[in-house]
């Protein structure tokens, strides 16, 4: 037979579990937001490190090409002098070919240097943008990080406190009816919300109506039933007198006094 004490115990446990669920969801949201920003900061650091290294490599390559270009310039001057000293057509043709090859190599190096210069400027621009993003994100984390961490600590303390209260409520239900307690815990793990009630034959959780014979047994408080649709533990609870009228008044403010 179901007593008021049974109903009070299982309602109390369900109420605490609902509060814990909200607190844990809040913790998860805040941790996720903080972790997401920290991950973005880490990704920006990695990106900046990679971009700075790429820029350094391009600058080093550009410096090597500039050095090579200066050396080629000297070789071109020597080739010109050599061409001027030629005494035969054969020597002149050979010197001219050498000079043209050096000039081509010189122009190729100039093109490579120009490309590296453009790429370096693009890299500097991208680095500047990323540094601005990083500074903004770091400032945001610095401004809100401590506040978020403090709020997380407060919420975690609330979870710990409510968990202790839950242990007491769970112990009370287990002492009254161990079978009911185990059934509750199994449903709680599977569905989150383990308990529902019925005032008019419909489940308060899924709103599906149950067979009339089952509802009659609930009204007689013979046992805690099981919703045929959502499988939650279900019991009969009398409707609060005047609740329908209050609900209609709330839906239609014009009729309220």
Q: Write the CATH number for 43.
A: 1.10.287.1490
Nearest CA to 181 among 52, 45, 6, 64?
6
Nearest CA to 76 among 108, 99, 101?
99
* pLDDT tens, position by position, 204-244: 999 999 999 999 999 999 889 999 999 999 999 887 665 44
CA distances from 56 to 49, 112, 115, 133 (A): 11, 16, 15, 21
In a domain, 231, yes or no: no
Q: What are phi and psi of 115, to 5 degrees?
A: -65, -45
In a domain, 159, yes or no: yes
For 109, the token pair is 């190096």
In a domain, 60, yes or no: yes
In this predicted structure, the answer to whether residue 255 has a pLDDT above a threshold of 70 is: no
In this predicted structure, the answer to whether residue 2 has a pLDDT above a threshold of 90 is: no
In a domain, 121, yes or no: yes
Q: What pLDDT does 152 receive?
A: 85
- Where do we find the tokens 């309220």? 256
For 188, the token pair is 């709680």
Q: Tell me how far the alpha carbon of residue 150 is from its chain's centroid.
A: 20
On whether the pTM is more than 0.85, the answer is no
Interatomic CA distance for residues 236 and 225, integer angstroms: 9
Say if residues 208 and 229 touch (Cβ distance below 8 Å). yes
In a domain, 8, yes or no: no
Angle formed at CA 60 by CA 57 and CA 65, multiple of 5 degrees: 125
* pLDDT tens, position by position, 159-183: 999 999 999 999 999 999 999 999 9
Q: What pLDDT does 253 receive?
A: 41
Q: What are phi and psi of 234, to 5 degrees?
A: -135, 145
Interatomic CA distance for residues 185 and 175, integer angstroms: 14
Can you list the positions of beta strands (E) in 124-245? Answer: 195-198, 225-226, 233-236
Considering its fold, how many domains does the chain have in total? 1
In a domain, 205, yes or no: no
Query: What sign has the CA pseudo-torsion 228, 234, 236, 242?
Result: negative
Interatomic CA distance for residues 148 and 141, integer angstroms: 9
In a domain, 199, yes or no: no
Range of the domain at 118: 17-167
In this predicted structure, the answer to whether residue 63 has a pLDDT above a threshold of 90 is: yes
DSSP string, 58-108: HHHHHHHHHHHHHHHHHHHHHHHHHHHH--SHHHHHHHHHHHHHHHHHHHH
Tell me the sheet residues that pair with 234. Answer: 196, 225
On average, the pLDDT of the chain sits at 88
In a domain, 233, yes or no: no
Q: Tell me how far the alpha carbon of residue 165 is from its chain's centroid.
A: 31
Average pLDDT of 10-18?
Answer: 95
- Where do we find the tokens 């050498």? 98
Residues above pLDDT 70, as percent of the chain: 91
């Amino acid at each position: 037979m179901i007593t008021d004490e049974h109903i009070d115990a299982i309602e109390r446990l369900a109420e605490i579990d609902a509060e814990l669920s909200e607190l844990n969801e809040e913790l998860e949201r805040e941790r996720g937001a903080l972790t997401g920003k920290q991950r973005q900061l880490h990704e920006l650091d990695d990106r900046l490190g990679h971009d700075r290294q790429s820029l350094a490599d391009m600058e080093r390559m550009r410096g090597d090409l500039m050095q090579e270009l200066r050396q080629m310039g000297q070789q071109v001057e020597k080739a010109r002098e050599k061409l001027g000293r030629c005494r035969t057509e054969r020597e002149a043709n050979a010197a001219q070919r050498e000079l043209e090859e050096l000039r081509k190599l010189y122009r190729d190096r100039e093109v490579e240097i120009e490309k590296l210069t453009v790429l370096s400027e693009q890299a500097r621009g991208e680095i500047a943008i990323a540094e601005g993003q990083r500074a903004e994100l770091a400032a945001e984390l610095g401004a809100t990080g401590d506040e978020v961490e403090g709020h997380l600590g407060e919420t975690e303390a609330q979870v710990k406190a409510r968990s202790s209260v839950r242990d007491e409520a769970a112990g009370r239900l287990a002492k009254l009816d161990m079978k009911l307690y185990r059934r509750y815990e199994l449903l709680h793990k599977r569905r989150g919300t383990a308990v529902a009630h019925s005032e008019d034959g419909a489940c308060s959780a899924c709103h599906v109506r149950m067979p009339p014979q089952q509802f009659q047994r609930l009204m007689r408080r013979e046992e805690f039933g099981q919703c045929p649709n959502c499988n939650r533990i279900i019991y009969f609870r009398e409707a609060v007198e005047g609740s329908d009228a209050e609900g209609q008044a709330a839906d239609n403010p014009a009729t309220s006094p």
